[in-house]
Every structure is written in structure tokens, then in C-alpha cells.
Structure 1
Amino acid sequence: MITQCPRCRSTSISTKDTARKIGALIGTVGGAAQGVTGAMAGAEVGAVIGIMAGPPGVAIGGMAGAILGGLAGAATGCIAGAKLGEVVDERVLDNYRCLNCGLSFSGRHHA
């Protein structure tokens, strides 16, 4: 289905995706914080287990767990935030902009 401007019927349309971008940013930050928090708890367990490998094993295991936890949390949060923002863009905001006449409109109004 081709999106058309409801005013001039042009098919030269772009999307703003404002909520998707903001949702992805917030999700990334929140997910990274949650991931690092969870990783720190895991690092404590890793430190106890790493005692057998000595001090270097404890340090490396703890740092690796925190980094990987942060990255995994950030990626998950980014995806979730972007999906939520996409729904807001489509159902709440005027996400489409006509490149011909400049009208902003929502997906509910395109023909």
C-alpha cells in the first residue's frame, strides 16, 4: 500500500520516526543500566568461583561480566524502546510528512 498525502495526493512521503528514536535512546540507556546491575550481581558469583583461578580470574571475570551484561541489556532495551516508539509514531503522532506540500499527517489518514 502506497502512502499518499491527504491534501495533494503526492506519494513523495517521508517519516519522522521521532518517538521511535527517543524510545530507542531511552531503552538503550535503561537497558544498559539494568544489564550492568544484573552483571554486577553475576560478577559477585563469578568472583567467588574465580577464587580458584586466583586474583586475575576474579578481576577478569567480573569486568567481562559487567561489560557483556551492559551490552546485552543495551541491545535489548534499544529494541524494546524502538518498537514501543514505533507504535506511538503510528497511532498517536503525525509521523508522515509530505515532501511536496509539507503537510504532516498520521498513518490513519493516508489513502
Structure 2
Amino acid sequence: MYTPCPSCNAGRVVTKNIGKQTGGLIGAVGGAVSGGAGILSGAQTGAAVGVIAGPVGSAIGSVVGAIIGSLFGGVAGGIAGATLGQHVDEKVLNNYQCLDCGYSFSINH
């Protein structure tokens, strides 16, 4: 979509996406922490699956289960945070910036 600068009418305009980046980071950290709270459940599941391979398999299974729980939580939180941040960019922040004059603006849909 072509969006000229409303100040100088130049065509060199970029999106800053500050809300999307910040939301993604906060969501990923929050999701990883939340997934980390589920470490016990993931560790128990991994240990149960690892029992087939004996005590070493149980230990490895519990660690792998805990790591996978944190990773899935981080990914899910990051996606949710980035989506929310994208809406903030579009509705609240001046997400567009002209590279010629430096003017920041938003586009009302």
C-alpha cells in the first residue's frame, strides 16, 4: 500500500512497529514464565515417558519436558503479544515515519 507523507508528500515512508516488537518481547517473556510455571507438569510427563528407558531416561525426559513447556509458552505468548502490539501500532501510535522529513504519523482507516 502506497502511503505518502502528509507533511512533505514524499513516498519514502517506513513503519516503525514499536508496539508489535515490544508486545512480542513482553509476550514471549511472559509466555516463557507461564510455561515455566508448567514445568512441573512437563517434567512429570517427560519423566513418565522416559521411564521406559530407565532412571537416566526418566531424568532426561523430565528436563526435555520442562524445556518444551517453556518454549511452547514463549512462542504462544510472543505471537499473542505481537498481535496485540500490532493493533496498538495501528490504532494508538504514530506508526509511520517519513525518511525524507522525519515526520511521524498514523493512517486512519
Q: Using structure 2 for the length normalisation, give the TM-score.
A: 0.88
State the partner residue of 2:86: 86
Q: Using structure 1 for the length normalisation, give the TM-score.
A: 0.86
Structure 1: gaps (5+ residues): none
Structure 2: gaps (5+ residues): none
Which has the higher mean CA deviation after the structures are superposed, 70-79 or 52-61?
52-61
- The Cα RMSD (Å) is 1.8
- What letter is aligned with 1:108? N
Equivalent position SS for 2:47: helix
Count of matched residue pairs = 109
1:39-82 deviations in Å (ceiling 9; x for gaps): 32132244356445432122111100011111111111111111
State the partner residue of 1:18: 18
Once the 2 structures are TM-superposed, how far is the Cα of residue 5 of structure 1 from its aligned partner?
0.8
1:12-62 deviations in Å (ceiling 9; x for gaps): 001111111110110110111112222321322443564454321221111
Percentage of matched positions with identical amino acids: 52
State the partner residue of 1:71: 71
Once the 2 structures are TM-superposed, how far is the Cα of residue 94 of structure 1 from its aligned partner?
0.4
8 Å contact from structure 2 (residues 47, 60) kept in 1: no
Equivalent position SS for 2:38: helix
1:108 aligns with 2:108: yes
Separation in structure 1 between the aligned mates of residue 87 and residue 98 of structure 2, nearest angstrom = 20
Separation in structure 1 between the aligned mates of residue 71 and residue 13 of structure 2, nearest angstrom = 35
Once the 2 structures are TM-superposed, how far is the Cα of residue 83 of structure 1 from its aligned partner?
0.9
8 Å contact from structure 2 (residues 22, 85) kept in 1: yes
State the partner residue of 1:44: 44
State the partner residue of 1:6: 6
Which has the higher mean CA deviation after the structures are superposed, 28-37 or 40-49?
40-49
